[in-house]
Amino acid sequence: MDWPNELGTLILTARNPTESGDAIRCAASILRAGGLVAFPTETVYGLGADALNAKAVAGIFAAKGRPVDNPLIVHIAEASQMESLAQNIPPEAYLLADKFWPGPLTLVLESRPAVPPETTGGLHSVALRVPDHPAALALLKEAAVPVAAPSANLSGTPSPTSARHVLDDLAGRIDAVLDGGPSGVGVESTVLDIRNGQPLLLRPGGVTPEEIAFILGRECPQAYWQENMSEPPPSPGLKYGHYAPKAPLYLVRGQPGAVLDRVRELRDYFQTRGDKVGLLLSRESAGDIVSEYVEILGDRKDAGELAANLYAALRRFDQQNVDVIIAEGYGEEGMGLALMNRLIKAAGSRVIDVE
C-alpha cells in the first residue's frame, strides 16, 4: 500500500480498529527493522523504537534532540512481559500493574542486563508501562518487541496529543507516524519508583497518588529535588525544563477571584506595552475576561478536562505567535496535581501567588 508522507515521514492511519491492519503491520515492520515510529497512546503520542536495539534507541535521542542521560519508558503489550525486562519485582508492582494496566502508570523497576544503557540512561532501573490505546496495543503485539518511547515532540516543547503535533515537530526526522486520533488523557503517565515496594512518585500523571495510595494501603509521597541539591535527582527528567511554549508563561495561583483580578492586571500591563497576550483560562473565568487570544481548557472543577486540553492550547499559542501567556492556576487534588506540575514547569520561575 502507498501511504501519504510529509517530508518522507509516512502517515499511517489507524483510527478505526477494523481497517487499521495494514497500517499496524507497516509500523511494526519498521520498528522491527530498527526504525522510528511515532504512535498514539492514551496520554500523549510516543516516539517508538525497539527498546533492545541500542542503535535504534540512539535514533530517538537524535530525532528529538534529547539529552542522552534522560532514560526512556519501555512500552509492553501485557504485564507478563515485565519479567523479561526487570528483576526482583516486588509484590506491590504486581498489585499496581493488575489494577492500572493498561493505563497511564509507569513503574520503575530494577532492570535486567538485556536492556541496553541507551534505553535506561545508564541507570540500573527500567521504566515500564502498558498503554491503554487500541492502536498502541495492536502495534506492540504485532511488533513483538518491547518499544522504548518518550513523548514524540522535539525536546523541551509541549508533548503531542495528535499526529498533526508530531508532524509539526518531527516530519522528515522519523520514519512514520501512526495516526490514531487525539490522545484522551492529554498529560503523560505517572512515573512511580516501586523498586523496594515503597512507592515514590517521580512524576505526577494520569494515575493520581490518591489512587496508588488506596491500592497499596499506604501513603504515596512525591520525590523532592531542587537544582541546588548535591545529590543527583531521583529521576533524570526532574532536572530538565519541559513542556514550555515559545512565549514566557506567567502562572497565577490562589483563590479564583483574586487570581482573576491579577490576570486582568497583567493582561493590561502587557497590552499597554504592545504585546500580543494569550490567556489560558477555565470556562468560568473566560466568561469574565475579554481578550483576543483566549484558550479555554475546561471547567475549573474538572482537572481531567483541563489537563486533556493543555498541550494543544499551548501549541496554538505558539502558532499565533503570542508574546506572553497568562495562565490561571488550579487546585492540586486528583488530576490537578499533574496539571499544575506541567503548568509550573511551563512557567519556569514565573509563578505568582495571590492572596
What is the binding site for ligand TXA (CB under 6 A)? 41, 43-44, 46, 70-73, 104, 106, 108, 120, 123, 125-127, 131, 149-151, 188-189, 191, 202-203, 235-237
- For residues 295 and 319, the answer to whether their CB atoms sit within 8 Å is no
Place of cell 534532540: 65
Residues 148-207 contacting Mg ion, CB under 5 A: 151
Indicate the residue among 43 and 53 with the shorter CB distance to ligand TXA: 43
Contact partner, 235, from ligand TXA, Mg ion, none, Cβ < 5-8 Å per class: ligand TXA
Question: Alpha-carbon distance 345 to 239, whole Å?
Answer: 11
Shortest separation between residue 334's beta carbon and ligand TXA, angstroms: 17
Question: Alpha-carbon distance 49 to 149, whole Å?
Answer: 7
Question: Alpha-carbon distance 206 to 44, whole Å?
Answer: 11
CA-to-CA separations, 330 to 156, 281, 285, in angstroms, rounded: 23, 10, 12
Question: Alpha-carbon distance 20 to 135, whole Å?
Answer: 8
Indicate the residue among 14 and 191 with the shorter CB distance to ligand TXA: 191
- In the bound state, the residue with its beta carbon closest to ligand TXA is 237
Which residues lie across from 109 on neighbouring strands?
126
Indicate the residue among 73 and 252 with the shorter CB distance to ligand TXA: 73
Indicate the residue among 86 and 263 with the shorter CB distance to ligand TXA: 86
- In the bound state, the residue with its beta carbon closest to Mg ion is 151
Indicate the residue among 8 and 65 with the shorter CB distance to Mg ion: 65
Question: Alpha-carbon distance 53 to 114, whole Å?
Answer: 10
Shortest separation between residue 279's beta carbon and ligand TXA, angstroms: 27
Contact partner, 190, from Mg ion, ligand TXA, none, Cβ < 5-8 Å per class: none
Contact partner, 71, from ligand TXA, Mg ion, none, Cβ < 5-8 Å per class: ligand TXA
Shortest separation between residue 171's beta carbon and ligand TXA, angstroms: 18
- For residues 348 and 241, the answer to whether their CB atoms sit within 8 Å is yes
CA-to-CA separations, 227 to 101, 240, 351, 353, in angstroms, rounded: 33, 10, 17, 21
Indicate the residue among 10 and 127 with the shorter CB distance to ligand TXA: 127
Q: Which residues bind Mg ion (CB under 5 A)?
A: 151
